[in-house]
Structure 1
Amino acid sequence: MYKYILKRIGLMIPVLIGISIIIFTIISLTPGNPARLILGERATQEAINQLNDELGYNDPLPVKYVNYMIDLFQGDMGTSYRTGGSVISEIGERFPVTLLLAVLDIFLTAVISIPLGVYIAIKKNSIADNVLTIVALIFTAMPSFWLGMLLMLVFAVGLNILPATGSDSFACFILPAFTVALLSVAQIMRMTRSSMLETLRSDYMRTARAKGVKENKIIWKHAIRNALLPVVTTMGVNFGWALGGSVITETVFGMSGVGTLTLLSVRSKDVPLVMGCVLFMSLLFSLITLVVDISYAYIDPRIKAQYGFKSKSRRSKRKEIRHVQSQS
């Protein structure tokens, strides 16, 4: 298992390098001049040319990329053209907002969607199944910005019980978290239902029923663990995207997260900040994917055996057997 983890971590390096090449090339080829952004519209052409030389903006694209990567491997992600602050500090200031929003999103999604998905799988073709499936389809078809503005209109403007914008207090995160979570709930609930139905129809479930095992034990001890594998995968991917910054949700609710920071840096052609945000998101997404893969070993014993995990009790039993055999 440890070899697998090290191998996956090693594979992250070429992935991140490939992403950096693509993003650096795209942002460098877009129109705009960072020196003009820094100095302002009233700056003279001479001052702009001088600053471009200092920034290396006039160097060939491969030279600029190599210089950037050399600084990056030394722990220097550069300085923002727009604010003049360190890229690391800029991301660090915004990331707690995005992290809290992502955690609330994944918590609400898990608490709402998984129990509902299991319930409508058990009550297949019932009124509750049909109603919740229709509701899930409606939420799936909703654009996130429209749902966010609808919730804002009802709870912030109409009822005036929650703030509409900002990220200064915990109350500011409630509407954005529900905006993202409700869209995820529809997806995860339908996936949980499909996975549970497939698991409940399997041969070993029928065998368990034939042996007289209680239905509640079959569902909550055996079926749900096997049905959760695709659900965990999707929730892990959603969590990774949320950690990268929900650009639309953060923009609608005026939150100062990584998503809005990335959008502002792209608009202003702030190359160091764009690169920093994208690489940060990519690293987080890769780590979340690795954690999801490892979690499979603890959900499904078959994958655990495939990875080479052995429980302590079995190892200790084998040691005891060898000890007894050596004494005899």
Structure 2
Amino acid sequence: MINNLIPNPDTIQVSWIYFQMLLLLTTPIHFLFMNAVLGSAGIATYLHFKGGGKEKKLAHRIAVFLPLVIAFAVNFGVAPLLFAQVLYGQFLYTSSVLMAVFWISIIVILIIAYYLAYYYDFSFDKLGNTGKWIILFSFLLFIVIAYFFTNNMLLMLLPEKFSEWFKNMGGTILASSDKVFLAKYFHDIFGAIAIGGLYVALISQFKKDKEGEVAEYGKDLGLKVFFYFTLINIIFGLWQFLTIPSNIRRGFMGGSGIASAVFVIALILIILALVFAWKKNLKYSAIFGILTVLFMSFVRDIVRQGYLKSYFTPSDLKVVSQYSPFIFFLIVFVIGIFIAYWMIKKAIEAFN
């Protein structure tokens, strides 16, 4: 019965493994920028409400970078979403239709949040005390976007909920009633704030020779946020682990060599990141923090495949060989990476 509710997958031009590799490559990049946006907006809100000279300077530093980071988060979010649609389109398109009202509203919400971030940056001094409400509202909008994204990424994994469409054809079906949702959502939010702390610590180091007080304060605050929010997030991660289906959980506990290895490496990286954050070593905290995001994105992919295994695996996709569009895409993709690198480099030079 459930299989009848799942559309037939489209054919692909090359082997699914190429799209899988690109999905695993682009997802953590998007996560890093996305976490930097949400986390730094939350920290800027805290700084503005706390008040004080160095707090205001650090909040302004965040404000200057925020629109740029949002742009990178959005643009780097396109690729993993497209690759996920190629591999799991029959599930992701269906879940998007089921929650269509909320899914399409993300565009409007994002535009408003983006505008507020620009306004917060360009009118920082003029806004004065009002600035805290502007950045607070922008931060809350990002929280809402995360809520809808989490719903869709979970709903696509629950084909048994697709039949709810016959009772509700208004495009307002969500997965928030599922037992794993709250753990997954809070795990995403607290993880984003933790990585946002690392990001704030890093950008506070710009103009270190001219603004030493801001650099030291930003590093200290950022590492504290990263350390404590990561500790709290371990609890939400454990909660999520205990709520996912038992067959997936067993895979991480020895049932699958790959899943177990990825899980263990992710845990080791988290511990190393926490140790260096406690020692206030920004360089190695950032390195192990970034590697943690990388391996946790692998964990998420394994969980997704585990949820859908009884219905579909990407290896089931039929290939109708046509390599030229894929080769052309790879060329454009590589050029885009170099352009993005150049833009980031120039932005860093401008801020230094």
Instruction: With the length of structure 2 as denominator, give the TM-score of the two structures.
Output: 0.31
Instruction: With the length of structure 1 as denominator, give the TM-score of the two structures.
Output: 0.33
Larger Rg: 1
